């Protein structure tokens, strides 16, 4: 009989609900200085889970709820689709470069998963998308509940110039599920994706993140793992100067994370 365990489970559930109800959401208008320092317009959402009660911090709450193309931040769920479909076997699979020279030198060579993720190699993910197929992509997006994905057009590079869109708040919600291995994919696949998104690490912290850019909007999303808990973040900015604006994504987000002592100085 398992009935004696139900009171404990009920108490745990009520405690979790109580914590969620107490979660604080604060507008951080003072973060404008970080955006102003780089002459950038955008938003940033941070969920700081280092305390007993998570705190959600937001700069420009209206924009944080607005959906934009995920661009290459979609490589995170896209990799999970490919692994589940079996068109990507593991991190060692080689994708042969066809010799077509593009404007980004790091793209002009054979690729593996780790290099394709780090350099945002679009041609690799076009291959994966073709192998997954449009019907497969629709099924995965519907199962994942990613942004507006349940009704998205998945023809072509749908994560770049299609109808697929996601907000900064939704990016953070997705990343939290990945961090907890709660997505509808094998835990081993989720762990592999988390491994290939490591940007840097210190003695007691790990930064996992992914950039994105669709030509108009630049993203940087991810989280910092620390012993006391994770700090999730999603930033997007306008990029009127195109490539010249791209370094601002990480620069602004890092400044905010350092101000929160999530990243070291």
According to the model, what pLDDT value does residue 261 have?
96
Are the C-beta atoms of 42 and 61 separated by less than 8 Å? no
Average pLDDT of the chain, as a whole number: 91
Are the C-beta atoms of 171 and 221 separated by less than 8 Å? yes
Sheet containing 205-213, strands listed edge to edge, beginning at the edge strand earlier in sequence: 24-27, 55-59, 42-48, 229-238, 217-226, 205-213, 198-202
Q: How many residues can be counted in the chain? A: 265
Are the C-beta atoms of 64 and 115 separated by less than 8 Å? no
According to the model, what pLDDT value does residue 12 have?
46
Neighbours of 229 (CB within 10 A): 14
**pLDDT greater than 70 at residue 213:** yes
Indicate which residues carry an active-site annotation.
72
pLDDT in tens, 110-147: 999 999 999 999 999 999 999 999 999 999 999 998 99
Dihedral pair phi/psi, residue 70, rounded to 5°:
-75, -20
Beta-ladder partners of 219: 212, 236
**pLDDT greater than 80 at residue 241:** yes
Beta-ladder partners of 208: 198, 223
Give dist(CA 195, CA 181) in Å, integer.
13
- Whether pTM exceeds 0.85: yes
Q: Higher-confidence residue: 123 or 17? A: 123
Instruction: Extract the tokens encoding 151.
Output: 């009704």
Q: What is the pLDDT confidence band of residue 29, given thresholds at 50, 70 and 90?
A: very high
pLDDT above 70 covers a percentage of the chain that reads: 91
Distance of CA 257 to the CA centre of its chain: 16
Q: What is the CA radius of gyration of the chain?
A: 19
Instruction: Extract the tokens encoding 217.
Output: 């909007």
Of 159, 138, 141, the C-alpha closest to 217 is 159
**pLDDT greater than 70 at residue 20:** no
Walk me through the domains of the chain, giving residue ranges and CATH numbers: 23-259 (3.40.710.10)
């Amino acid at each position: 009989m398992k009935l004696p365990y139900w009171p404990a489970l009920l108490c745990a559930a009520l405690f979790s609900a109580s914590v969620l109800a107490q979660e604080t959401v604060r507008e951080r208008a003072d973060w404008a200085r970080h955006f102003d320092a780089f002459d950038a317009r955008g938003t940033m959402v941070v969920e700081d889970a280092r305390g007993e009660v998570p705190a959600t911090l937001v700069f420009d709450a209206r924009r944080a709820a607005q959906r934009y193309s995920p661009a290459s931040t979609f490589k995170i769920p896209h990799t999970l689709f490919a692994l589940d479909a079996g068109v990507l076997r593991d991190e060692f699979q080689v994708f042969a470069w066809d010799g077509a020279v593009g404007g980004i030198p790091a793209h002009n060579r054979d690729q593996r998963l780790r290099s394709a993720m780090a350099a945002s190699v679009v041609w690799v993910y076009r291959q994966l998308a073709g192998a997954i197929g449009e019907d497969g992509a629709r099924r995965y997006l519907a199962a994942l509940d990613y942004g507006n994905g349940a009704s998205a057009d998945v023809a072509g590079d749908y994560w770049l110039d299609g109808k697929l869109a996601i907000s900064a708040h939704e990016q953070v919600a997705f990343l939290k599920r990945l961090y907890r291995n709660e997505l509808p994919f094998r835990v081993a696949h989720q762990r592999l994706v988390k491994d290939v998104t490591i940007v840097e690490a210190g003695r007691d912290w790990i930064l996992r993140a992914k950039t994105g850019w669709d030509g108009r909007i630049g993203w940087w999303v991810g989280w910092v793992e620390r012993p006391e808990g994770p700090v999730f973040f999603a930033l997007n900015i306008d990029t009127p100067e195109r490539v010249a604006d791209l370094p601002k994504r990480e620069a602004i987000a890092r400044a905010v994370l350092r101000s929160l002592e999530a990243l070291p100085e």
